[in-house]
Amino acid sequence: MYKVKTVFECQSCGASSPKWLGKCPDCGAWNSFVEEKQERVKAIKKDTSSAPQSLASVTLENEDRLSTGIEELNRVLGGGIVSGSLILIGGDPGIGKSTLVLQMLSSLFAENPELKNPALYVSGEESLKQIKLRANRLNISGQQPIHVLSETCMENIFDHVKRMKPSVIVIDSIQTVFTQEIPSAPGSVGQVRECALKLMLFAKGTDTPIFLVGHVTKEGAIAGPRVLEHIVDTVLYFEGDRGHAYRILRAVKNRFGSTNEIGVFEMRDGGLAEITNPSELFLSERPQNVSGTTVVATVEGTRPIMVELQALVSQSTFGVPRRTTIGVDVNRVNLLIAVLEKTGGLHMGGMDTFLNVVGGLRITEPAFDLGIVTTIASSFRELPIREHVFVFGEVGLSGELRGVSHAEARIKEGAKIGFREAILPESNLGRLNANIKPEIKLIGVKDISEAIKAALDI
């Protein structure tokens, strides 16, 4: 018999301590230490068949990706599912994670008829009848080769997997499963880490793609240790506001494709519907001839999207003006307001400023700066920006406009939607392809003063 050691582990980063601590010294999280038992097991040396080999002797095989049948999901994954990949999908409760993976399994076999073995959907939170009710709501036929299992013990799950040899495995969710090799409770740091590691070794050893559904904390991060995100190959976040029907699937890590790609969905009665042209969707309810609204051309990954940005500037009734933003960084907005006061001639010291990105998107790229500046100036001066104008550009601290990437893609997207004028940095104007210039009128500006004059016709 070996002694059972009791330690306290941080549920955020996995740091351990012999005694309870109120604040984690590694990640700074408060009240995150939980008591866990660790059984000391004698290490056993195992024989291994692998041996080091030179890099030149490693051969590559061109393997086709499995299409999920959902183009927006394929885009985020980098073209489809790679064999043996471990994919983590996180999101708020009720955002549609289980709906997405169930729809994916339904369309997977129609797109890949070469798959002979069925898919296995393992649920640790729902009963088989609850899964069936969701499948009926999504109009998923019972003839689909999808097997469901309500189980939380990892050893039992692997027993079924070895008998079935499924083509794809879904674990919903990773926080509910546990292994009997660790005495701690399901969802703890040790259990999540050990279960994810076992699934990773199985995926790599059998070339079976595995999807993990993960819970998120109130801060929006994947629940459990950060090592979970390091183990998996791809991390997808399912974002959205319950007040909106739109859902954004964002890739923040992808070993087999580009990051920062997004997929846009709409939650309907029959499940998630793809939005192939999100620009028209986000601009469908845009008001006309109203001050404080601007259309900005932004790029998410490789996709240009036209987004409406709204601002409200009003006289403050308090000593310190309020700065409230939804969808953009408030610190970036404060910086641009200071630039407007210094070089744009707008006295914002006693004005409350509120900004909102319509549609629930969150924009972080610097090309959104010019949209923030022109929108605030429009609301401050109560002058509307012309209806068929969109903007993009990065603003420097001295008020100058700096060039941004993907300028041609932004202009083509605006012309496709129906815009006739674009305000952009002058440095981008000189590097554009001559073939796109006749499609739309391009106005190059050097600083924010010229941009505000061009946008507001003053």
- The per-residue pLDDT for 261 is 81
> Tokens 């997808």 appear where?
236
Cβ atoms of residues 275 and 72 within 8 Å: yes
- β-strands 293-300, 323-326: how paired? unpaired
- 415 and 448 part of one domain: yes
DSSP readout, 105-134? HHHHHHH-TT--SPEEEEESSS-HHHHHHH
- 305 and 187 part of one domain: no
- 14 and 134 part of one domain: no
Strand partners, 234: 87, 254
- Residues tagged in the binding site annotation for ATP: 91-98
Q: Which CATH number belongs to the domain containing residue 446 in this structure? A: 3.30.230.10
- The per-residue pLDDT for 376 is 96
- The per-residue pLDDT for 46 is 52
Q: What's the CA angle centered on 192, arms 186 and 195, to 5 degrees?
A: 100
- The per-residue pLDDT for 43 is 47
- 46, part of any domain: no
- 357, part of any domain: yes
- 287 and 382 part of one domain: yes
Residues of the chain with confidence (pLDDT) below 50: 1-2, 43-44
The tally of domains found in the chain comes to 3
- 208 and 311 part of one domain: no
- Residues tagged in the binding site annotation: 91-98
- The per-residue pLDDT for 301 is 77
In this prediction the pTM is: 0.79
- 55, part of any domain: no
- 57, part of any domain: no
- The per-residue pLDDT for 1 is 45
- 49, part of any domain: no
- 177 and 297 part of one domain: no
Give the domain extent around 262.
66-276
- 44, part of any domain: no
Integer Cα distance of 392 and 157 in angstroms: 51
Instruction: Say how far residue 297 (Cα) sits from the centre of its chain.
Output: 19
Cβ atoms of residues 262 and 278 within 8 Å: no
Work out the widest C-alpha separation in the chain, in whole angstroms. Answer: 84
CA distances from 363 to 180, 296, 368, 448 (A): 44, 11, 7, 20
- 378 and 431 part of one domain: yes
CA distances from 156 to 57, 80, 122, 152 (A): 39, 29, 11, 8
Q: Which CATH number belongs to the domain containing residue 179 in this structure? A: 3.40.50.300
Q: Which is nearest to 250 in space by CA: 119, 438, 73, 80?
A: 73
Angle formed by the axes of helices 448-456 and 369-381, nearest 10°: 60
Tell me the two tokens of residue 327. 């969808």
- 142 and 269 part of one domain: yes
- 75 and 210 part of one domain: yes
